[in-house]
Structure 1
Amino acid sequence: MKIGYRRVSSEDQNLARQELGETDKVFEEKVSGGSFKNRPALRQMLDFAREGDEVIVFSIDRLARDLRDLQEVIQTLNDKGVAVTFLTERLSFTADADDAFAKLQLQMMGAFAEFERSIIRKRQAEGIAKAKANGVYKGRKPSIDRSEVRRLKDAGFGATAIADAVGASRASVYRVLAERSPR
């Protein structure tokens, strides 16, 4: 079975440019590739793939932006007897193939994807710092009414009841209450 995997980084981006050719099933998601753990479609694809299948991905950076994650995904699939093909780079990896040149290319392309991700993070941090300095960036609006948390605590409510009342986790309630007490 030919299984496709397509990913873009945000909801407003389009998956259409990642043409995979003929596939039997495609897993798609619109999430950042920076976090391997928070990608449900990738997890589903890894669970779905069976021995003899081929996973087709448009390019290496669509599968992972971290070299270790990239290697882990390919190794997981290869251990199951699943081949992995990257169309843009024209690379294929199977459990029985021992192509040193393909592995070298994978390492290099994966390192470039990881490098690109770190550059993006650096630029983002610089932009936020500049916006903060100019008074433009205020950060995320508080999601918890701190005064309500304190009022409920003063009224004798426990952390669980407060968390339920304000729609937050107990850990968040404890954090707000800790801000109040001297250290």
Structure 2
Amino acid sequence: MKLGYARVSTVGQDLKTQIEKLKAEGIQDDYLFIEKKSGTTTRNREELEKIIKQSRSGDHVYVTKIDRLARSIIDLNKIMNRFKEKGVSVTFLDNNMTFGADTDNDAMQRLLFNVLGSFAEFERDMIVNRTGEGRQRAKKAGKKLGRVGQPEAEVQRALFLWQNRKENGLSVSDILKMTGVPKSTLYKKLNER
């Protein structure tokens, strides 16, 4: 059985390319395990757990790149050992490499696997360092970091509409749609009053 695993770290990232590559390998939609979770840890990665639990001896798991499976060499080895214990092979499409119980005795395969895993971890560490440096520069420049808030005019409009909702026949949902203000922001501002 062919199974596919695709992952991105954030909601804003796109899974399209990964899914296309997995489907090109002949993986059916029912056998695609897709999630938007950080790869820095295996905690709370429900789809990863599902693919490991549902895979059986002789199955073949396809992943586009090693860093889609894990970003640390320790987690990568743990995941791969779980697949190997079940007799499942894993292919990393972009690297054109397959690992499994039958490659365990191949010293070169183990070396390449660990080198690729180490690069994935190194790449993640470099991203974290660059992001931290960028934040520090932004703070020194006096820039505010974080999500952009709602325009104050729209928040005030939402509050006004909420106060007059009965006269206008508006529901909270109507007000949120009209102003684009999130429900949590509206209720937060109401509680502040």
1:9-38 per-position Cα deviation (integer Å, ceiling 9, x unaligned) = 221222121211211401011222122213
**Aligned counterpart in structure 1 of residue 27 of structure 2, from 15, 23, 27:** 23
| Counterpart for residue 124 of structure 1 | 131
Question: What corresponds to 1:43 in structure 2?
Answer: 49
Structure 2: 5+ residue stretches without partners: 148-193
Q: Distance in 2 between matches of 1:60 and 1:46?
A: 16
* Structural mapping, 1:82-97, within 5 Å: 82-97=88-103
Q: Which has the higher helix share?
A: 2
Mapped to 2, the partners of 1:74 and 1:105 lie a distance apart of 14
Write out per-residue CA displacement over residues 113-144 of structure 1, whole angstroms, 9 at most, x where no aligned residue.
Answer: 1000000000111111122222223568xxxx
2:16 counterpart SS class: coil
2:113 corresponds to 1:106: yes
How do 1:1-183 and structure 2 match up within 5 A? 1-18=1-18, 19-20=21-22, 21-24=25-28, 25-97=31-103, 98-137=105-144
Quote the Cα distance in structure 1 between the aligned partners of 2:33 and 2:39: 14
CA–CA distance in 1 between the matches of 2:65 and 2:115? 13
Moved over 4 A (4+): none
- Structure 1 unaligned spans of 5+: 141-183
1:41-74 deviation per Cα after TM superposition (whole angstroms, max 9, x unaligned): 1111111111121111111111111111111111
Identity, in percent, stands at 44
RMSD (Å), alpha carbons = 1.8
Q: How many residues align?
A: 141
